[in-house]
Chains A and B, each alone.
Chain A
Amino acid sequence: MTEAAVTPAIEGWFTTGADPALVASQCTTCSSVFFPPTTGFCRNPACPGEDFEATELSRRGTVWSYTDAQYQPPAPYIPATEPYVPFALAAVELPEGIVVLGQLAEGYGVDDVRVGREVEVVVETLYTDDSGERTIWRWKPVVEMGEEADQ
């Protein structure tokens, strides 16, 4: 029996090593970074650029806002569990000046974050399909020095 594969739910949007990071496209002409990764034409209206290089975004950012999904979202969302277990979401401002949405890491809810709270990227299982576990980036609150690590 072969071991079930663990692969990203979407290819090329994030790295999966020990220190995972989101992968953006950086315009080689004006240096603007775009996430999700893009090809074709730079969206900066002042830039004629058409070439991009993959670049890793900062792993840490601050919470712009946050919420949760107490009802199961409709398809194409694939629930990870039956019955459905609510999860939380955050929009996170990265040092690159880009705000990126993501679910909060497993076990964290809206009470664990505030606007301005520091979080970092982790990679966790989103759902399991025929090809095995499919992973996604998530935001995990950073526990500050001196804070009780009672998670």
Chain B
Amino acid sequence: MHPWGKWGRNFVSYGVHAARQALADSDVSWEDVDLVVGGETVRNGYGGYVAGATFAQALGWNGARVATSYAACATGAQALDTARARILAGLSEVALVVGADTTPKGFLAPNAGERWDDPDWLRFRLLGMTNPGYFALYARRRMDLYGATPEDFAAVKVKNARHGLENPNARYRKEVSTEDVLNSAVVSDPLHLLDICATSDGAAAVVLTSMDYARRHGIASPVRVRAISTVTPTFPNTVIDMPLLSTDPANAVPPEQTFKESIGAAAYEEAGIEPGDVSLAEVYDLSTALELDWVEDLALCKRGEAEHLLRAGDTTIGGRIPVNPSGGLACFGEAVPAQALAQVCEVTWQLRGQAAGRQVEDAKVGITANQGLFGHGSSVILST
């Protein structure tokens, strides 16, 4: 990985840094890589649209196959899925998957120009609906339905800030108190500034190989990808999703699972693993309250019970099911095309016992979860 921050440099330099680190970490030479998959960044010009080729060229053309993926926040997982599918099909052996971003300051706003048929543009023009606005809707619903409090949301930040203290790739490595969160400005009620993740520059890369190659390479017990879920919603999607102005009509029979529940469920099914088997989770805490939603969406507890887990310390390192041992987006901020890969990097280090200063003891199975715009989401399950 390239450390998260606001470095103000070109995204390619971060991506190459992360790629070289991943190759060195896995002791795989660039010449051995026969597939490069890039996570597209939409705010960095043409080079960002063809990120796979951009990274391949920057590393030095080596004749590898190339692909570029875009799936909003799930971009990195979709890129990994592309690599995995080619490897499982026997078409590739060694894949390098890279995501990197350079981000603007402040709210993520839509691209310029008048687009009266684009919901991502219309939500700003007609409603002034920002991303934190959506996060706040979900947070408020937790409060009114399950009795969550602003102190609970702050406790998520306090926990994640502590988790990330020793993480060399985290942007924010500083203790945060409940008072710090509650005294920070309210952005969208009930969420304070410190409840909401920042946007960051950063890069993550993963080397994925066939089991055959790993064995030939002398890796006796590699961390294994057990599942990559990139499912779309099932009609009718009755929970309002960013950036939409409305839900589908629920007059058709609503699916048994919400979209976010289905993301995790598909991963568990593909992996043949139960939620109870999971040692740790890296979930998309775009806001503190969203972490609580994810704990339930991944079936790590029943609906409405995430606050109980949090208050009991179950989701803290050392607890029953540590959530965001990396420090999460609370400590990183979001670098969209890199973020889902960063989750996979963290789980990998946890399963190898290399997460210095934040290690979950005896970690055997890790799950990631995230959701992005326009029906994208991902969940990746790794195991020892």
Contact = CB atoms under 8 A, between A and B. Distances in A.
A46 to B, nearest CB: 8
B189 interface: yes
B127 A64 contact: no
A129 B124 CA distance: 16
Interface residues of B, number: 45
Given A65-B141, A66-B140, A67-B140, A73 B130 contact: yes
Contact of B136 (A46, A67, A74): A67
A99 B124 contact: no
Contacts of B122: 10, 36
A76 B240 CA distance: 21
Interface in B198-244: 235-236, 238, 240
A71 B121 contact: no
Interface residues of A, number: 45
B235 A44 contact: yes
Given A67-B140, A91-B137, A115-B144, A76 B238 contact: no
A102 interface: yes
Nearest to A68: B189
B189 A10 contact: no
Nearest to B247: A99
A23 interface: no
Contacts of A9: 125-126
A108 interface: no
A89 B246 contact: no
B252 A136 contact: no
Contacts of B144: 65, 114-116
Given A70-B185, A78-B125, A101-B246, A65 B235 contact: no
Nearest to B143: A115
Contact of A100 (B109, B185, B246): B246
A71 B235 CA distance: 34
Contacts of A123: none
A69 interface: yes
A96 interface: yes
A23 B123 CA distance: 17
A115 B140 CA distance: 8
Q: Which 6 A-B pairs have the closest CB atoms?
A: A97-B250, A67-B136, A115-B144, A74-B109, A73-B128, A65-B137
Interface of A: 9-10, 30-36, 43-46, 64-71, 73-78, 87-89, 91, 96-103, 110, 114-116, 126, 136
